[in-house]
Amino acid sequence: MKVTEHYDKAKDPLISFEIIPPKRGGSVSRVFETLDGLRKYRPPFIDVTSHAAEAYYEEMADGAVKRRIRRKRPGTIGLCAAIKHRYNVDPVPHLICKGFTKEETEDALIELNYLGIQNVLAIRGDDHGYEKPVQKDRSINEYAVDLVRQIRRMSKGVYLEELIDAQPTDFCIGVGGYPEKHIQAPNLAFDIARLKEKVDAGADYIVTQMFFDNEYFFRFVELCRDAGILVPIVPGLKILTTPRHLTMLPQTFHLTIPEALTAEIGTSPEHALDIGVEWAVKQCRELLDYGVPGLHFYVMGNPDPAIRVIDQLDVIPATSA
Distance separating alpha carbons of residues 117 and 154, to the nearest angstrom: 15
What is the separation, in whole angstroms, between the first and last Cα of the chain?
9
**DSSP collapsed to 3 states, the chain:** CCHHHHHHHCCCCEEEEEECCCCCCCCCHHHHHHHHHHHHHCCCEEEECCECCEEEEEECCCCCEEEEEECCECCHHHHHHHHHHHHCCEEEEEEECCCCEHHHHHHHHHHHHHCCCCEEEEECCCCCCCCCCCCCCCCECCCHHHHHHHHHHHCCCCCCCCCCCCCCCCCEEEEEECCCCCCCCCCHHHHHHHHHHHHHHCCCEEEECCCCCHHHHHHHHHHHHHCCCCCCEECEECCCCCCCHHHHHHHHHCCCCCHHHHHHHHHCHHHHHHHHHHHHHHHHHHHHHHCCCEEEEEEECCCHHHHHHHCCCCCCCCCCC
Distance separating alpha carbons of residues 140 and 137, to the nearest angstrom: 11
Among 170, 234, 245, 244, smallest CA distance to 205 is for: 234
* Active-site pick, 5, 18, 54, 162: 18
Among 58, 83, 79, 59, smallest CA distance to 69 is for: 58
Q: Decide if 104 is catalytic.
A: no
User: Per DSSP, what are the bridge partners of residue 298?
Assistant: 18
Residues designated as active site? 18
